[in-house]
Amino acid sequence: MTPQEASKKTAEVCALAPVVPVLVVNDVAHARPLAEALIAGGLPALEVTLRTPCALDVIREMAKVEGGVVGAGTLLTPADVKAAVEAGATFGVSPGATDTLLDACEAADLPLLAGTCTASDVMRLLERGYTVAKFFPAEANGGAPALKGIGAPLPQMKFCPTGGISLKNANDYLSLPNTLCVGGSWVAPSDLVVKGDWKAIEELAREAASLSR
């Protein structure tokens, strides 16, 4: 997969809804009902972070849910890429970007939202042929004003900002011309997941899916 093809695929994922849920799941039993609730609420693109021992099994379960597009987050190494693809992930997300990781994703035909936080990061990806990236951690790196500032000299790159984004500030990002969608964990808070309150999560998803962009 070329960087251009990868960017086209990630742009398609970002176009599915204004918010991509960023999920840290600690129990495989929660995977299917959580995915069903988020998809029913209008958020079909799901990022499962590889931060828990059961994350790959969660991806396997969520990938079986009709209407969902499941990706693997926190990809750091070629081994992560291989494991994510084998588990059924159809896109990847990383906090940063290294040539080793980009090489692995391209070889595995896994479109990647590579993390950026500076103009130099963006320029390196543009040189390689990428036109869609992640802006992370968004709030810690100046928030929407910083992303707007990067967009002025580098309008070729479009972003999915994540990190510190909530319902309160999501529209600050979504209103920017260089933002395709945002990533956020607020749509699946851990207390609701543990309680199995899938209806409440579906309502949070519905609220997020109604955000304008």
122-151 pLDDT, tens per residue? Answer: 999 999 999 999 999 999 999 999 999 999
Preceding peptide of 137 cis, ω within 30°: yes
Among 51, 52, 47, residue whose Cα is nearest residue 71: 47
The residue type of 213 is R
Query: What pLDDT tens digit does each residue of the chain (213 aa) get?
Result: 999 999 999 999 999 999 999 999 999 999 999 999 999 999 999 999 999 999 999 999 999 999 999 999 999 999 999 999 999 999 999 999 999 999 999 999 999 999 999 999 999 999 999 999 999 999 999 999 999 999 999 999 999 999 999 999 999 999 999 999 999 999 999 999 999 999 999 999 999 999 987
The residue type of 56 is L
Catalytic residue among 9, 134, 139, 202: 134
pLDDT score for 23? 98
47 as an active site residue: the answer is yes
DSSP code of residue 80: H
Among 198, 153, 144, 199, residue whose Cα is nearest residue 172: 144
CA dist 133 and 91 (Å) reads: 12
106 as an active site residue: the answer is no
CA angle 108/36/109 to nearest 5° reads 10
pLDDT score for 212? 84
Beta strands in 82-184 (DSSP E): 91-93, 112-113, 115-116, 132-135, 158-161, 182-184
Catalytic residue among 47, 61, 139, 202: 47
The tokens for 183 are: 């990533």
pLDDT score for 126? 98
Its pTM stands at: 0.96
pLDDT score for 213? 75
Q: Count the alpha carbons within 13 Å of 177 in the hemisphere toward its beta carbon.
A: 8
DSSP code of residue 140: G
**What is the three-class DSSP state of 66?**
coil
